[in-house]
Structure 1
Amino acid sequence: MLSSPSSSRGGFAPRRGRGGWNRPSAKKWEPVKLDTDAHPLGELLQTVQGSDLKLVNASTDVSIDDCRYVASYNWLSDATTATIIAGRPPRWTPLQTPQRLKEDSGQYFRDPNAARCPEYPMAPVVKAILQQNPALDAGSIDLVACGSTLGNLLRFVRGIDKPFRFNVQVIGDTVFFIRKENDPKELIKDVRGFGHTFPDAYTTWDNDVKNSETHQRIVQYVFAGLKCFVRFEVDGYLKDRTAGGGSGDKVNLRSPTGPFSANDLSQAFGNATIGTASAIAKASNGSFNTTLRGSEIPQGSIFDLKTRSGKYKKDIDMSDMYPLLWIKQIPNFIVAYHDGAGLFQDIRVQDVRADVQRWEKENIDCIRRLSSLLNIIIDIARKDDKVLLEVISQKVNVLQIRRQHGQGMQALPVALQNEWLATSGGVSVEDDDLSSDTNAGHDAVYDSEEDWKFGSDDEEPDYTACSAEDCGYCGKCTY
C-alpha cells in the first residue's frame, strides 16, 4: 500500500483513460478495422515486408541518446481557450486513506489531439516548439512524430498484428508523421473501469494550470543518427523527483507576437472540440487563444500511469509497457490495482529506467529494424517533398507507402509552415502550392465532418491494457 501525507485530490478533468476494468465479452473482440472505403488509398509507391528490413551495421549505435525537453502545452477544458504554454502535468497527490471510487462515466475522445484540432493535429505542437525555442534551426530536425506513430512502427517490426495508418509530409528538411484514425472525433464506446476517476482522485493540477484536461510534452533525442522531436501525453509528475523538490526550471519563453489572427484560428483550431461531448457545441462557436503559464518539469519526474483489477491476482505484463516507455523516455511508471470495485490498496510507484534499458538490450534486433524502416520512409518522403504520403499496415509484416488520396491533408496551416521554414531560412510556401496537382486525381479527403465514417462494432473491447495515446483504444492490447 502506498500512502502520502498529502490528502488533496485532483480536480475533475476528463483526461484520457489509463486502462481499467470492464465486463468480459461473450465473443472474441475484433479490433476496429481501417476504413478504406470512407478514406480511399492513394497510389502505391512501395511495399515493405518485415523480412525486407535489414539490420543496420552492428557498429551503428541505435540507442536513444541526448534526450532533452523541447516544449509542452496543456489542453484546457475551458471552451474559450485552447492551450497554455508551457503548461505542466498534474502532480501526484495520493490519498492518505484509500476511498472507493466511482466507475468511469461520460464520453471521451479516442484521439484527443485530433479531436480538438482535426484539420491540423500537429499545429499546437509546432506552435509550442516555436514559442519556447526562438533560436531553433528547424533544418536540423529530421523527424517530428508522436508516441502513437512511432509505437505503431515499433509494433510492426516486432511482428505484432495491429493495423495502423498515418500521414507523412516533408516541410523543409523535416519529415512529419501525423496520426490518422478512422474519425478524429470518434468517441470511446462503453467507457468502464477507473482509468479516469483514479487519476482525477490521485493527481492534482497546480493552480496556474487548473482546468487542464491533458498535458502534452515534446522531447528531442537522437535515434540511429536521426534527430527526432517526439510528442506524447504525460500522465503526471512526482514532485519529490524534481530538482530541489520544486517544479523545475522556468521555460525561457519569448514574448508572444500577439493573438492568433482570425485566419490562423480558423486554419489551426477551426471546428475544434474539447474533451467531453458536452463541450463540443460551446467549442465549435468559441475562439481559441494561447496563453503563457506553467513551467518545465524535469524528464526524470514524469510518469506513465495504468490501472488494473487486482481481483484475479494477475500483475500487469510490463513487456507491453517497456517499448512505449522507451519511445517516450519516461523513467517512472505507476500501476494501481483495485479490488474489482474501485478500492485501490495496491499502488506501486516504480523507477523503471534499468528495466527499460534491459528491454532495449534484449530487443536490439527489433530496434535496428525500426531504424531501417524509419530511414526507408524518410528517404521516400524526401525524394519528392511536395508529395503527401501515407503509411499503412493492414496485416502483420506488410507495410505500404502510398501517396495520399486526392489532395491529401497538410500537417500544418500555411502560416505555421512558413514559420517553421523561416527558422532555417527556407523558402516560404503559398496557398497555391498546397493545392498543386502532386496529389490530384480525386476529391480531397476529409472535406467535412460527414466525410468521417467508421463502422460500428457489436462487441465491447477490453480496454484494460489500452490508452488513447499509445494505441487509440484498440481493444486488443494484452495484459
Structure 2
Amino acid sequence: MASLWAADIPRPDLTNFEKRGPSIIEVEYLSSYNWIESSTPTIAVPGCPLLWCPPNTPKKAPKDSRLVYITQNAVRHPESPLEPLFHSLYLENPSYNIQIVDLITDRNNVRKLLSFVNPRLFINGLEPFTIDVGVTSNTVIICRVETETYAVIGPHEFRCYGHEFEKVFTTIQVPQSTRYHRVISYKFSDMKFVVRYETDGYLGEYSGLSLEIKTRASRNPICIHEVLPQLWVSQTPNLVRAYHNGGLFGPLEVEDVTWLAMLIKEIIRVVRDNGGNAVVKHDGKSDSLEVRTRDGKRMLPLDLYSKLGDKVESTQVIRSDPRKMILKIGDTVYSDIPQYHTLCETYNYLGVDVLRGQSVDDIFADLRACRTDYELEYKLRDVAYRLLFLIIRGEFGDEKTDPVKVYNAMLFVVSHSGTFKHGTRTAVRAAFKERFVVSPKQQSQLERWRKKDFSEPYLSDDS
C-alpha cells in the first residue's frame, strides 16, 4: 500500500528554543561492538575502537580508494540495521530495562533533525533527508535511511584522505574489524535517549576517552562549529583536526571540545496518532518536515519488540533467525543467540559476575520475593537468569542436597506461569534435566507442568 500524507511539522520557534538551553545529562556507556569482515553478519562484543598513535614526524597518507562505507550497519545487516545495537546491549547489560527509554536512534538521525531545527549550526546548511520512525508502547525507534549505503572510489577518482589517514595514524585493536560502534544513554530535556554512533579512535592513556577524526586540505580549515553538533549529540570529548598538503599530514593535536526536544516530541505525537510507523522527510528547502505513513516490515525482529513491551499476535513466530547475526566474543563465535546455554558461556568468558556470590538458597529467596512484585518484570528476568546460570555453570559442594535445592527453585519457576514467561520456564526446566539426574517422581511433576504449559495459549518469549 502506498504511503499517505499524515502531517507537516513546522520548524520550532528558535528564539524560545534557544532560551531554554537544552542540555544533555546523566551520560552512561551501555555497550559497544565491532563489525568483523565476514560473509555472514558478524559483530564482536564488547568492541574496541582504533588506538590513536600518530607518528612524531609528518606522514603521507594515500588517497581513499575502493569500497567506502556510508552506513555500515545497513550494508552488513540490511534487514535490520538497528538489531546489532540490541544484541550488544543485552550481552553487556542482560537486565537492562529498555522500556524506560523514550527514544532509540543513531547519532546521524539526531544530527539531521538538529540541522532542520537550526541550520545555522551547519556550514552547508540544510540538505534533504529521510528517516523511518516507529512508535511502540513506550519507546520511539528512529532508523537511518540513506539513498546510498556505500561508495566505490575508482583508481583515478579523488574524494578525500580520511579513511586512509586512519590506517596510518591509528592501530587496529580487534582483528578483522571494519568499524567500531558505541551505544550510550542520556537524558535530554525530560526524555531518555539511547544513541548509537561510530567512534574513530581512543586515546591510549585514557581508554575511556573517544575521539572524532576530521581531515581537510590545509587551505580549507575546519571550523569548530562544523563538528560541534556531531560531538554534542554523542558526547564525544575529543577532536582531531588533521590538515594535509597533497596527502602529507603535519603535526597533530587532540582538542577537548565538550559543549531538539520540541521537534522530537511533535514527531512522536504525529507518528503515534497515525498508526505508529511513518517516514519523515525534508526536501532541504522548506520550513517544515513531511510525515507520511509507512507500510511494510518492522525495523526489528519481533522478539526484540516484545522486550520493548510491544504486543504481538500469539500466532506470530517472534524469534529472530539466529543465522542472520553472529556474535564474536574474543576468539569464540556464537551463532545461536536465543540459546541460553551459549549466553551463559559467553558471560563466563567475559568474566561477568552473574551470580554475585549468591548460593541456590539466596536465589530461591529472591525468586519468592519477586513473586509478589509483578511490576518489576526485569527483576524477575534477572533472578530467573541467575538460577539458569547456576544450573549451567555453577559448582555444587554437596552433590546430595544441592540438586534438591536447585530442583525446588526450578520447580518454583516452572509452576508459576503467571509470573515467569514460557521461554524462561522452558529454559530453566531443560537446563536442570541436562545437568542433573531426574528421579521418576521429579520427572512426573515436570511432565505435568509441561503439559499444562502446552494446554494454554502463550506468547513465546526469550526473557
**TM-score tier (shorter):** 0.5 to 0.7
Superposition TM-score, scaled by structure 1 size: 0.60
Structure 1 vs Structure 2 CA RMSD: 2.5
User: Could you tell me which residue of structure 2 aligns to residue 202 of structure 1?
Assistant: 169
User: Could you tell me which residue of structure 1 aligns to residue 223 of structure 2?
Assistant: 317
User: Could you tell me which residue of structure 1 aligns to residue 59 of structure 2?
Assistant: 99
User: Could you tell me which residue of structure 2 aligns to residue 162 of structure 1?
Assistant: 127
- Secondary structure (helix, strand or coil) at the match of 2:239 reads strand
User: Could you tell me which residue of structure 2 aligns to residue 192 of structure 1?
Assistant: 159
User: Could you tell me which residue of structure 1 aligns to residue 289 of structure 2?
Assistant: 399
Which of the residues 291, 306, 309 maps onto 2:214? 306
User: Could you tell me which residue of structure 2 aligns to residue 346 of structure 1?
Assistant: 251
User: Could you tell me which residue of structure 2 aligns to residue 178 of structure 1?
Assistant: 143
Worse overlay, 232-241 or 387-396: 387-396
Separation of aligned partners in 2, 1:431 and 1:122: 25
Which of the residues 383, 388, 413 maps onto 2:277? 388
User: Could you tell me which residue of structure 2 aligns to residue 116 of structure 1?
Assistant: 76
User: Could you tell me which residue of structure 1 aligns to residue 266 of structure 2?
Assistant: 376
Percent identical residues: 30
- Offset, 1:219: 0.7
**Residues 111 and 186 in structure 1, CA contact (< 8 A), matched pair in contact too:** no
Change (3 A) 1:303 1:203: same
User: Could you tell me which residue of structure 1 aligns to residue 178 of structure 2?
Assistant: 213
Residue 283 of structure 2 aligns with an amino acid whose one-letter code is Q
Separation of aligned partners in 2, 1:41 and 1:96: 58
Change (3 A) 1:431 1:175: farther
**Residues 89 and 215 in structure 1, CA contact (< 8 A), matched pair in contact too:** yes
Which of the residues 408, 414, 417 maps onto 2:302? 414
**Residues 149 and 177 in structure 1, CA contact (< 8 A), matched pair in contact too:** yes
Separation of aligned partners in 1, 2:271 and 2:15: 19
Separation of aligned partners in 2, 1:409 and 1:319: 38
- Secondary structure (helix, strand or coil) at the match of 2:253 reads strand
Separation of aligned partners in 1, 2:2 and 2:242: 42
Residue 234 (structure 2) pairs with residue 328 (structure 1): yes
Residue 147 (structure 2) pairs with residue 147 (structure 1): no
**Residues 72 and 215 in structure 1, CA contact (< 8 A), matched pair in contact too:** yes
Separation of aligned partners in 2, 1:233 and 1:127: 16
Separation of aligned partners in 1, 2:18 and 2:52: 43
Separation of aligned partners in 2, 1:87 and 1:408: 32
Which structure 2 residues correspond to residues 34-49 of structure 1 after superposition, within 5 A?
A: 42-49=3-10
- Secondary structure (helix, strand or coil) at the match of 1:395 reads coil
- Offset, 1:398: 2.0
**Residues 107 and 196 in structure 2, CA contact (< 8 A), matched pair in contact too:** yes
Which of the residues 60, 74, 89 maps onto 2:49? 89
Separation of aligned partners in 2, 1:54 and 1:317: 24
- Offset, 1:414: 1.5
Change (3 A) 1:67 1:215: same
User: Could you tell me which residue of structure 2 aligns to residue 63 of structure 1?
Assistant: 23
**Residues 338 and 346 in structure 1, CA contact (< 8 A), matched pair in contact too:** no
User: Could you tell me which residue of structure 2 aligns to residue 5 of structure 1?
Assistant: none
- Offset, 1:197: 1.1
Which structure 2 residues correspond to residues 272-287 of structure 1 after superposition, within 5 A?
A: none
Larger RCO (alpha carbons 8 Å, 6+ apart): 1
Change (3 A) 1:431 1:219: farther
Q: How many aligned positions are there? A: 310
**Residues 215 and 234 in structure 1, CA contact (< 8 A), matched pair in contact too:** yes
Residue 139 of structure 1 aligns with an amino acid whose one-letter code is Q
Which of the residues 243, 254, 267 maps onto 1:337? 243
Larger Rg: 2
Residue 50 of structure 1 aligns with an amino acid whose one-letter code is R
**Residues 10 and 288 in structure 2, CA contact (< 8 A), matched pair in contact too:** yes
Change (3 A) 1:399 1:41: farther
Change (3 A) 1:132 1:50: same
- Offset, 1:49: 2.1
- Secondary structure (helix, strand or coil) at the match of 1:315 reads coil
- Offset, 1:191: 5.1
- Offset, 1:78: 3.2
- Offset, 1:408: 2.3
**Residues 52 and 201 in structure 2, CA contact (< 8 A), matched pair in contact too:** yes
Change (3 A) 1:196 1:180: same
- Secondary structure (helix, strand or coil) at the match of 2:45 reads strand
- Secondary structure (helix, strand or coil) at the match of 1:196 reads helix
Structure 1: runs of 5+ lacking an equivalent:
1-39, 243-297, 357-369, 435-479
